[in-house]
Amino acid sequence: MFPHLASPILIEAAHQFGTPLYVYHAERIRFQYQSLKQAFANWDVRFFYAAKALTNLHILSYVDSLGCAIDCSSINEIKLALRAKVASEKILYTSNSINFTEIEEAVALGVYVHVDSLSALEKFGKRFGNSYPVGIRLRPNIMAGGNLKISTGHASSKFGIPVEQLDQVLALISSYNINVQTLHIHTGSEIKDAKVFVQGISLLLDIVAQFPNVSAINLGGGFKVPYYPNEKGTDMNELGQSVATLFMEYQQKTGRHLQVWFEPGKYLVCEAGYLLTTVNVLKENEAQRFAGVDTGLNQLIRPMFYDAYHHIENLTNPLAPVNTYTIVGNICETDTLGADRSMPAIREGDILSIQNAGAYGFQMASSYNARLRPAEVLYKDGSLQLIRRRETLEDLIQTQENL
Ligand SMILES: *Cc1c(COP(=O)(O)O)cnc(C)c1O
């Protein structure tokens, strides 16, 4: 277990940089990466941080410094990773519904690409033949993930090439002599049960004989982390053991070594992040006691978009008697960040910490209601470093033509 960032540090950050504020704890990211390395120590595994979870240049650079590679979901994420001085050999591009020009651009930048459709595979073959290696994202028809919105491998999902179309894949590979080096699946996010990954591995090991150039199997991301206190995440040690056993057995049976790749996003950064917010208004009615705060769905959309639970603590009144609060945002929508939470009495002016805000927090923020996106701070080696300034009204106007 890794302890939460201590309240005095979070309070200091709020005082120094104001709220709403995202704070990330570097050591927590390192701890998460080390625990992955440890869990998979018995097999040849490479990790690519799914940059879309949290894309700040300082985070990309820090993750790179740990020895972790980077998985990108758009050409701009690739450019950000390069800007963070990540070597192109350490960058993966896994996307969908993109124009082929983005794939050409990624290849020109020296990045490894996964194609996600027969159409893109054919274009890749026509354009590059066997001169540049490529990976194929398959749709395994496995239903998994925290909820349907984040489930990506099921039989009606838009992602990947359906495994039923394997014959067409093989026909394209043979007619253009395409050098397919990886097979990829990503079944969804928040997959708690290690057996879902085992199901995916079995499927890929059943077909990999038909892909003689494949040297690595990419199992995507989607490890679950706890959001509720005492909740369990994916059992990484169980998964690490299963991976080692299955790939070792396969190697013994066939003499073929397959490296394994993972693309963890949430697992690396989720628990490292805190969204700090100040209570503006207390409001009571017959049924509820509301605490209205200076953030909302514009800055953390997960509670509304995914019905996600985020634990909330009162940093500045921790020893007060407990009461029940519904914590609501300041946007003109029903943006409930936490319903009926028992917590130490909240006063106007208290600073609350919304936990597990590192992944898909800032990165999904918008300027809805013309509110400004918050600042981001990295706590590393005992000091707080501003890694993104707070937006200003000028930032909102900048891209609009003059009146
Ligand atoms: C989003 C995504 C990931 C990361 O998912 P997490 O749930 O954050 O681990 C990995 N691979 C692909 C292809 C993705 O789209």
Let me know if 137 is exposed, middle or buried by CB neighbors in 10 A (0-12, 13-18, 19+): buried
Q: Which one, of 3, 68, 102, 38, lies nearest residue 264 by Cα?
A: 68
Q: What span, in angstroms and rounded, lies between the C-alpha atoms of 32 and 22?
A: 19
Q: Are 134 and 113 in contact (CB under 8 A)?
A: yes
Q: Are 60 and 70 in contact (CB under 8 A)?
A: yes
Q: Tell me the CA–centroid distance for residue 278 and ligand 1, in Å.
A: 31
Q: What span, in angstroms and rounded, lies between the C-alpha atoms of 113 and 127?
A: 14
Q: Averaged over 215-244, what is the pLDDT? A: 95
Q: Tell me the CA–centroid distance for residue 152 and ligand 1, in Å.
A: 10
Say yes or no to pLDDT of 153 above 90.
no
Banded model confidence at residue 279, pLDDT cuts 50, 70, 90? very high
Ligand 1, from 263, 268, 270: best to mutate by most atoms within 8 Å of Cβ?
263
Please tell me the predicted confidence (pLDDT) of residue 218: 97
Phi-psi label, residue 401: left if phi above 0, alpha if psi -120 to 50, beta otherwise: beta
Ligand 1, from 36, 52, 113, 152: best to mutate by most atoms within 8 Å of Cβ?
52
Q: Which amino acid, residue 10?
A: L
For residue 220 and ligand 1, the question of a CB distance below 6 A is answered with yes
CA distances from 364 to 98, 154, 357, 361 (A): 20, 24, 11, 6
Q: Are 89 and 64 in contact (CB under 8 A)?
A: no
Banded model confidence at residue 154, pLDDT cuts 50, 70, 90? confident
Please tell me the predicted confidence (pLDDT) of residue 332: 96
Q: What span, in angstroms and rounded, lies between the C-alpha atoms of 288 and 290?
A: 6
Please tell me the predicted confidence (pLDDT) of residue 362: 98
Q: What span, in angstroms and rounded, lies between the C-alpha atoms of 71 and 54?
A: 12
Chain mean pLDDT for the chain: 96
Banded model confidence at residue 194, pLDDT cuts 50, 70, 90? confident
Please tell me the predicted confidence (pLDDT) of residue 95: 92
For residue 187 and ligand 1, the question of a CB distance below 6 A is answered with no
Please tell me the predicted confidence (pLDDT) of residue 292: 98
For residue 55 and ligand 1, the question of a CB distance below 6 A is answered with no
Say yes or no to pLDDT of 310 above 90.
yes
Q: Averaged over 354-379, what is the pLDDT? A: 98
Of all protein residues, the one whose alpha carbon is nearest to atom 3 of ligand 1 is 221
Q: What is the pLDDT of residues 37-51, one digit of tens each?
A: 999 999 999 999 999
Residues acting as catalytic residues: 332
Q: Averaged over 353-368, what is the pLDDT? A: 98
Please tell me the predicted confidence (pLDDT) of residue 189: 84
Please tell me the predicted confidence (pLDDT) of residue 156: 84
Please tell me the predicted confidence (pLDDT) of residue 318: 97
Q: How is residue 336 written in tokens?
A: 């409930």
For residue 188 and ligand 1, the question of a CB distance below 6 A is answered with no
Q: Is 298 helix (H, G, I), strand (E, B) or coil?
A: coil
Q: Are 292 and 330 in contact (CB under 8 A)?
A: yes
Q: Which amino acid, residue 188?
A: G
> Do the bridges between strand 69-72 and strand 45-50 make them parallel or antiparallel, or are there none, so unpaired?
parallel
